[in-house]
Amino acid sequence: MTAHSYFDLHVHSTDGSDDAGGTVEGYCKWVEARRKSGYHIDGFVLTEHRRYVADIDYTALAEQYGVTILRGIEVETDVGHVLVYGINDDFLARFDLSDIALPYAEVFSAAEESGGIAVGAHAGRPRIGLVEHVGERGVSLETVGIIEALNGGSSDYENGRSFDLAEEHGLLTVGGSDAHFVSALGRCLTEFDTVVTSNEELVTALRGGEFRPVRVEDTREGATRKELPSAAHIPATSGQGDLGGDAIELDESAIGQEVHVGSLEVTLHTIAEYCEALEEVNPLYTDAEWAEREGPYGSIIAPPGILNTARLRPGPDPQIRFGDQSFMAGSRLETFEPIRPGDTIEAFTQVKEVYEKTGRSGRMVFVVRRTRYQNQDGVDVAATEGSMVLRKVKALDG
């Protein structure tokens, strides 16, 4: 009987990916829990965005949970994202990993020459997967041998396009969850017909070709495998912009400079108004008598979301000249102390970071602002981080 092993080949963590919420220990605990439910997951590969994180030692975690933790990277190329396994100094010396438009053919060749192997990530996604580039630009697949066709973050249609490409061009296929959050790990996996315990063995197994993409449900003993997706579904979002271009112009002196951007007077009335707008009925925020008698703070407090109602000035402007549209990309709220009626909250904002990456809509620039909220006693009560994405868009007809 063949000794199969099951690996999630595409995982992002808070140790190296700006948009991930899953910790490596959280992933290990999740694997442990999935095993208790009868699923088979041997390990996972950390493939952080544009960063090879080699300086964190996961040995203790791996031993504690009995999970094999391997490392690769997800880089961005002129034909979309590419997963590289078996990374070494030779490969790292050849590229600036922060570049969002690396030459794809060189990435695939360099991985092979340096003892590793490259895989076209989420091949069916618009802009950042191979399918569109092969179909629209006639990109050559000469250096490409494997694509990720079963991707946990892609729609069935997108995955179906990947399988179609693989069949048409004789490519091998793998599965990966593309997990950014703990509970996503293992949704899609790769089944190897051999035992894998190290980065070197992973490369050997991928070069050997004895593997296939599976869903986590398929790893249960006696499971009947579901059909893999076809492209005969409704298409998801269409591509919008380009993947590369000139360097972004910005005023770097604005980064890290904290300024006062406004204040918020919190009263029983403003708390009541906010609760009404959100149909909030938690008595901690709405019932003075209950809050005094039963609540942990001795009085009504404000829901933390009330900070969103503050009319704040935008703060330092890094003057980025890119794109014609901005969207919220992420929000973080950290609470430290309760906000009470009668508080005057002062807000201080700084631009924490500016960076770029590519996604379904093409090239994007992210601006991360951190705002600190301080009460009249000089105590920080909360902090928020907001990430805005700037991009170029095409209008839809009609």
In the range 71-110, which residues lie near another protein by CB under 8 A?
A: none
19 in contact with another protein (CB under 8 A): yes
Q: Dihedral through CA 78, CA 122, CA 327, CA 247, nearest 10?
A: -20
Query: Given the complex with another protein, which of 240 and 371 has the nearer CB atom?
Result: 240
Size of the site for another protein (CB under 8 A): 57
325 in contact with another protein (CB under 8 A): yes
Pairing of strands 80-85, 117-120: antiparallel
Using CA atoms, how far apart are residues 215 and 169, in angstroms rounded to an integer? 23
For another protein, which stretch binds (CB under 8 A), given 133-141, 244-252, 283-291, 315-323? 283-291
Q: Report CA torsion sign: 276, 282, 284, 288.
A: positive
3-class secondary-structure state, position 270: helix
Binding mask 291-310 for another protein (x = CB under 8 A): ---xxx------xxx--xx-
289 in contact with another protein (CB under 8 A): no
Residue from 198, 230, 319, 335 that binds another protein (CB under 8 A)?
335
Residue that is written with structure tokens 């899953």 in the block: 22
Kindly write down the DSSP assignment for every residue of 147-212, as one continuous string. EEEEETTS-HHHHHHHHHHHHHHT-EEEEE--BSSGGGTTSEEEEESS---SHHHHHHHHHHT-EE
Using CA atoms, how far apart are residues 26 and 163, in angstroms rounded to an integer? 31
Using CA atoms, how far apart are residues 257 and 314, in angstroms rounded to an integer? 13
Using CA atoms, how far apart are residues 35 and 31, in angstroms rounded to an integer? 6
Residue from 234, 247, 289, 377 that binds another protein (CB under 8 A)?
234
User: CB 38 → another protein: shortest distance, Å?
Assistant: 13
For another protein, which stretch binds (CB under 8 A), given 119-127, 198-206, 209-217, 271-279? 271-279
User: CB 182 → another protein: shortest distance, Å?
Assistant: 4
- Contact positions vs another protein (CB under 8 A): 19, 21-22, 26, 29-30, 33, 37, 155-156, 180-184, 234, 236-237, 240, 273-274, 276-284, 290, 294-296, 303-305, 308-309, 311, 325-335, 361, 393-396, 398
